Structure 1
Amino acid sequence: MKLLRLARLICLLTILLASLSMSACHQDQPPPWQLSDISGHMPDLSFQLTDDQGKTVTAADYRGKVTLLYFGYTHCPDVCPLTLAHLHVVMQQLGKLSDGVRILFVSVDPTRDTPAVLHGYVSAFDPHAVGLTGSPSDVEALTKRYRAAFTREPGKADGSYDVSHSSGIYIFDGNGKARLLATPADTQDKLVHDLHLLLSPGDTT
């Protein structure tokens, strides 16, 4: 009987130690993403717009690429140029991997942002950037799809105007699935880290 109790005690201790070991191992693993994980909370990438070459494009044209969707406009005085410059540095840090990325800059000011205007603007920042425009209704529908927002401010005396808009960067994997959301507060290192995971074979699913 004593031997039986001892055997049971050893068995229980073994199970307990194994459980603690697995728990510690799990706690030591860092979370895979450093940006906000939106997997399952946002719809797949879907649109039909006009690119900065004047060609009609859809989300299917960017399948196989990790896409960074950003809403902005070329007359933006600060946030847009800062964001594009920020992403240019990220692309440089990615090196050759950046070939697998496309930055989709969707204009929330389609009246002024013609394809030619967009092309001159985005190409000045990074070769991986593509300007996209469309009808006001198409643009509005796309912003609503991703819970973004924009508002045209009252015109100024010289006829110019500003557009207030959301500043998030929506990141989709090569299959067009929404994966991550970056904000202006997120560092370049965080973006580089997570894009590495999405671009490398065997990335986190």
Structure 2
Amino acid sequence: MIKVSTSKTFVSPEKMPDQMKSAMRASALSMSRRVLLRDIAVLALGSVPSFSFAQHGGLGLVSPPVRLDDIQLVDQTGRTRLLNDLLRQNVTALQTVYTGCGTVCPLQGSLFSAVQQRMAGLRVRRPVRLLSVGIDPLSDSPAALHAWLARFDAGPAWNAATPALTDVDHMRASLSGSTTPLGALADHATQVYCFDANAMLRWRSADLPRVNDVCDVLGALALT
């Protein structure tokens, strides 16, 4: 009688063919990114600070993803741009600020400055960009936006733009996902909103999120 062994033969990593090693690494990377995107919502919900600057809708992953209305904005060069043109083809982290703010907006600028420094180290398939949206059109002129970016040493992958006064509140509400009335300008959200390369909103952070959290989400979206 011939005995058939059902035990599995262990192959040490050193003896694996290079092709098998590459396949295993790719599978592990894909799985880790899926787990990251799944767990980001839990991470964000657990990191909400004790203070809050605005009413929020759901934090974490946005499901289903949301496309904002394609409004016009004027960027720091004075050029009129459509929102989806600014977002499409790139993975983008967006924040709302106003250049006359002397309290939380400088913290937001420092946050994006730190994210910018780490962007070069991300392993990505798509470009990653930063966008600061001015929510005080009466003061956030192209010159003011340009000076604000320069204050934080913004590079070419970090832009700023301001919508028309009539579009500000609608955009803020769409970003937050909240149906409650918006607070005063000084109480604006300090969240970060991450968009995929199809201009779809995929993630909302807590107020003033950690740099690592923003970079993790950008890196995950830029690999999809």
Same fold (TM over 0.5): yes
- Give structure 1 regions of 4+ aligned residues with deviation exceeding 6 angstroms: none
Question: Residues 104 and 179 from structure 1, CA distance in 2 versus in 1: closer, same or farther, beyond 3 angstroms?
Answer: same
Aligned with residue 206 of structure 2, among 183, 187, 193: 183
Give the aligned partner of residue 60 of structure 1: 85
**Which residue of structure 2 lines up, in the alignment, with residue 4 of structure 1?**
none
Aligned equivalents of 1:74 and 1:145: distance in 2?
21
Report the alpha carbon displacement of residue 145 of structure 1 after superposing the two structures with TM. Answer: 2.3
Shift of 1:38: 0.9
Per-residue deviation, 1:178? 1.1
TM-score where L is the length of structure 2: 0.64
Q: Deviations over 1:45-71 (max 9, x none)?
A: 632111111111012243111112211
Instruction: Verify the 8 A CA contact 2:73 2:81 in the aligned structure 1.
Output: yes
TM-score normalised by the chain length of structure 1: 0.70
Q: 1:175 to 1:45 in 2, by over 3 A?
A: farther
Structure 2: give runs of 5+ residues left out of the alignment: 1-30, 45-59
Aligned equivalent of 2:35, options 26, 31, 38: 31
**CA contact 2:108–2:208 (8 Å) conserved in 1:** no
- The range that moved more, 30-39 or 62-71, is 30-39
Please tell me whether the aligned partners of residues 91 and 127 of structure 2 are also in contact (alpha carbons under 8 angstroms).
yes
Matched, 1:138 2:167: yes
How far apart in 2 are the matches of 1:41 and 1:199? 15
Superposed CA RMSD in Å reads: 2.6
Q: Kindly indicate whether the alpha-carbon contact (under 8 Å) linking 1:43 and 1:145 is maintained by their aligned counterparts in 2.
A: no
- The alignment-based identity, stated in percent, is 26
Structure 1: which 5+ runs fail to align?
1-27, 153-162
CA offsets 1:13-70 (integer angstroms, 9 cap, x no match): xxxxxxxxxxxxxxx9783222511131533463211111111101224311111221
| 1:82-101 correspondence runs (5 A) | 82-95=107-120, 97=122, 100-101=127-128
Deviation digits for residues 133-189 of structure 1 (CA, Å, limit 9, x no counterpart): 13211222211222373524xxxxxxxxxx321111111001111111122353222
Q: How many residues align?
A: 164
Which has the greater radius of gyration? 1
| Cα distance between partner residues in 1 of 2:208 and 2:143 | 31
2:158 is aligned with 1:129: yes
Distance in 2 (alpha carbons) for counterparts of 1:183 and 1:129: 21
2:146 aligns with one of 92, 111, 119:
119
1:170 — aligned with what? Answer: 193
- Report if aligned partners of 2:196, 2:202 keep a CA contact under 8 Å in 1: yes
Contact 1:45-1:177 at 8 Å conserved across structures: no
